[in-house]
Amino acid sequence: MHTHVLYEHPLNEKMRTWLRIEFLLNQLNAQLPLRDHATALHFFRNAGDLLDIFERGDVRSELIKELDRQQRKLQAWVEVPGVDQEMIATLRQKLKACSSVLLAAPRMGQVLREDRLIALVRQRLSIPGGCCSFDLPSLQLWLYLPQEIRDEQVNGWIASLEPLNQALRLVLDLVRNSSALRKQTSLNGFYQDNAEDTDLLRLQLNLADGLYPQISGHKSRFAIRFLPLDSEKGSVPERLDFELACC
């Protein structure tokens, strides 16, 4: 049973995009295999959202820049006494390999973008109920194909995103592990601090408190207001202990 809730909040557009992509990639895999309309539409909707993000900016170049930046950060640790040199060498090699694979990969989302079925479903998703069987008889037929044929096609779509997935997971793991959670205290439901060179805030609250954070901020400063889930009956203590990491 969960006793704590972990929240994450990006402090720049780059991190905001990456967290959204991570969320969508997780959603793509959440209800596999696709057995019916409900699981299929869950998949296609998230695939369409991913393509929308890819079309708004150059995700690949931003990730490659970050992989290079993380390599430089690790290089700076090489001269520090007592540091695990083997671990640093392994991480640098992973970063270098991910960067090479991502650089050589086709255009982000190209396989999904060129698939006729994904394109047909994507066109109908903005229409309320627009993916009914009479609207998309091609989807109806696809769902009647043998499961192994559908699985093979879906696995191909997901495999095409693997260079992105691997690079993103490595980058986000390094960012999240760059700072440990530390105890902080808010007064009257409010907390603020500086955030120099911070990409991501991570907050951990007790589930029993029934509170969630409303965060505003940018790369140099942030503010957190704690609010009760039940706005009518809930209350915020004068002093609230929570854990915070500035990554």
Determine how many CB atoms are found less than 10 A away from the CB of residue 115.
17
Does 152 score more than 90 pLDDT?
yes
Instruction: Please name the residues in contact with 174: beta carbons below 8 A apart, sequence gap of 6 or more.
Output: 70, 91
In residues, how long is the chain? 247
Return d(Cα 133, Cα 56) in angstroms, integer. Answer: 31
Decide: residue 124, CB within 10 A, 0-12 exposed, 13-18 middle, 19+ buried.
middle
Does 225 score more than 90 pLDDT?
yes
73 and 44 Cβ atoms separated by less than 8 Å: no
pLDDT of residue 218: 77
Q: What residue ranges define each of the domains in the chain, with the CATH number in brackets?
A: 31-177 (1.10.3900.10), 182-246 (2.60.440.10)
> What mean pLDDT is predicted for residues 142-149?
97
Return d(Cα 12, Cα 57) in angstroms, integer. Answer: 14
pLDDT of residue 76: 80
Smallest CA-to-CA distance from 32 within 165, 124, 156 is with 156
Does 232 score more than 90 pLDDT?
no
* Token duo for residue 128: 């309320």
> What mean pLDDT is predicted for residues 170-189?
95
